[in-house]
Amino acid sequence: MKAFKLWWAALALPLLMALAVACEAEEETPPAPRTPGAAQTPVARKEPVKVGFMYDATGATQIIGPPYKVGFEDAIKLINQKGGVEGHPIEAIFCEHGYEVPKGVECYERLKAQGVVIINTYGTPITEAVVERCVADKIVCNHPGYGIAAAANGEKFPYNFPTAASYWSQAGAAMQFILEQWQKAGNPGKPKVAYLYYDNPAGREPIDVLRAIAQREGLELREYAVPAPGVEMSAQVTDIVQRFKADWVITHLFGRSPSVSIKALRDAGFPLDRVVSFVWGSADADVIAAGGWSVAEGYYGIQFTAIGTDHPVLDEIRQMYRAEGKSPPKEMEEANVYYIRGVAQAFMWAEAIRQALRLAGEPVTGEKMKMGLENVKGDIKGLMRLEMSARDHEGGGYVQIWQVKGGKWVLAKDWFRGYRDIVESFVYQ
C-alpha cells in the first residue's frame, strides 16, 4: 500500500508541472514590459527594442558566462537610464543554455517568440546550430570572438556577425607584433616562432594562417599541440626552449592551461616578454593563477576589447550603482575582461540600433538591425574598435596588445591589425 502512495505522488508531480506551465502560458499573452530602469526616465517612452542574450552559467565555459552577462546587463541598464537609444529603451531578455546544443536551439526559439531583433548566440556549437535559423527568421546572430571565423564573410553569412577579431585576425596581429618587436630590438634575420596551442578545433583554427604568414616572411614556424585537459605541457615547453630554441612563442590556450603555460615557460627559463597569448589566455585570472603578477612580468596578451578598471563608461556604471546605494559588482572591480566584453557588446548593439533608426526608421526589425550593425564604424566607448561593412562582418579585425608590467596590464600596442590580405584570403576563399 505504501508503494501505491509513492507512485501516486510520482504521477501527481508531472501533472502539477503541466498545470504550472499551462498557467504560465496564459499569463504570457499580454507581455509585461519589464524594462530595467525605464521607470526612472520619463524620456524613454517609445517602443522598446527587444534583444536576446544567451550565456551559460553551468556548462563548459561557466567561468566566462556569468561575468560576461553581468557586464552586458549593467551596460543596458545604464543606456536605459540615460534615455535609451533615441528614446527607445532596450529590453534585454536572457536565456541560459548550459553550453548544450538542444537547450541552445530551444533558447533561440524562446527568444524569437518574444520578438527579439538580435541574439547573442553564445558558444561555438550553439552558434553553428542556429546559423540557418538566423537567416530564415532574419534575426541578427552576434557572436563576438567565437563561432566560425569564416562567418566574417557577410556575403556568405548574411545574418552572422563575429564582430571581434577572429582567431585568424589574432594570428595575423600576433605575427606582425612579433616581427616589429624583433626589428625594434635590432636583431638580424627572422625570428623562430613556436605556436603552442590547445588541441581542439578552436586551437587548430589559426594554424593555416600562421603557416601562410611564415611562408611569406620566410621565418621558421613550429606547432606544438597540448592535449586536453591542457594542464601538462612541460614536454612541449622543453622542446620549444631547448631543442627548437624558439625566439618567440605564440600561445593559444583555454581555461586552466594559459596559467600553466606561463609557469612552464618561466620554469624552462624562457623570457616571458617574448610570449604573446591569444585572447582566451590574457585575463587577470590567468596571471593570478600562474602565481601572481610578479611571476608573469613581461607576458603579452592580445585583446579585442580594452581591459582594466579605469574607463569613463565604467565610472558611469559605478555612479549608477552608488545612486541605488549599492556597491559596484565585484566582476568589474576585479577587472574581469569578460565583464568589459559584455559592456562593450551592449554599447555596440546600442550603436547598431541608432544606425538602424537613422538609416531605416522605426520600428527596428532584424533586417534593419543587420543594416545598422553593418554601419557601426569607429570607436565604441573606448572599449572596442570596429569597421563594419556589408562584406566584412568581423569589423576589420582590430586588436590591442597588453603587457603585464609592475602588477597590472599596460597597453603595449594600440588598435592595429596585421597581414589583412592573408587573413582576408581565408575569409573570402
Partner 1 sequence: MINRECGVFKTTYQADMALYTVPLARITVWAFLAFFVFVLPFVVDTQRLVWANLVGIHLIAALGLNILVGLCGQISVGHAAFMAVGGYTAAIMTSRADVPFWVGLVAGGVFASVYGLLVGLPSVRIKGFYLAFATLAAQFITEWTITHVKWIGGGFQASIIVPRPSLGPLTIDTEREKYYLILALVIVAVVVALNIARSRLGRAFVAIRDRDVAAELIGVDIARYKLLAFMISSFYAGVAGALWVYYLGNANIEAFRIVESISFLAMIIIGGLGSVLGTIYGTAFVVLLPFVLEEILQVFKGVIPVADIHSFVAYLRFAVYGGLIVFFLMVEPEGFNRLWRNVKDYFRVWPFPY
Q: Does 11 bind partner 1 (CB under 8 A)?
A: yes
Selection from 389, 386, 376 nearest residue 305 by Cα: 386
364 binds partner 1 (CB under 8 A): no
Nearest to 48 by CA among 23, 15, 80: 80
Nearer to partner 1, 24 or 421 (CB): 24
Q: Confirm if 176 and 186 have CB atoms less than 8 A apart.
A: no
Piece of the chain touching partner 1 by CB under 8 A; list 62-70, 211-219, 380-388, 414-422: 62-70
Q: Which one of 115, 125, 308, 328 is in contact with partner 1 (CB under 8 A)?
A: 125
For position 327 contacting partner 1 by CB under 8 A, the verdict is no
CB atoms within 10 A of CB 369: 27
Please answer whether residues 281 and 401 qualify as being in contact, where contact means their C-beta atoms are separated by less than 8 angstroms: no
x/- string (CB under 8 A) for partner 1, residues 265-294? ------------------------------
Is 211 near partner 1 (CB under 8 A)? no
d(CA 164, CA 379): 13
Q: How many CB atoms lie within 10 A of CB 375?
A: 17
Residues across the chain: 429
Q: Does 12 bind partner 1 (CB under 8 A)?
A: no
Q: Is the peptide bond before 271 cis (omega within 30 degrees of 0)?
A: no
Give the position of cell 509585461: 32
Binding residue for partner 1 (CB under 8 A) from 124, 163, 170, 181? 124
Residue number, 27 or 267, with CB nearest to partner 1:
27
Nearer to partner 1, 11 or 231 (CB): 11
CB burial readout 25-47, b (16+ within 10 A) else e: eeeeeeeeeebbbbeebeebebe
Asked if 94 is part of the footprint of partner 1 (rule: CB under 8 A), the reply reads: yes
Binding mask 133-162 for partner 1 (x = CB under 8 A): ---x-----------xxx------------
Which positions lie near partner 1, rule CB under 8 A?
3-4, 6-7, 9-11, 17, 20-21, 23-24, 27, 56-58, 65-66, 69-70, 94-96, 98, 100-103, 105-106, 109-110, 112-113, 124-125, 128-129, 131-132, 136, 148-150, 199-202, 204-205
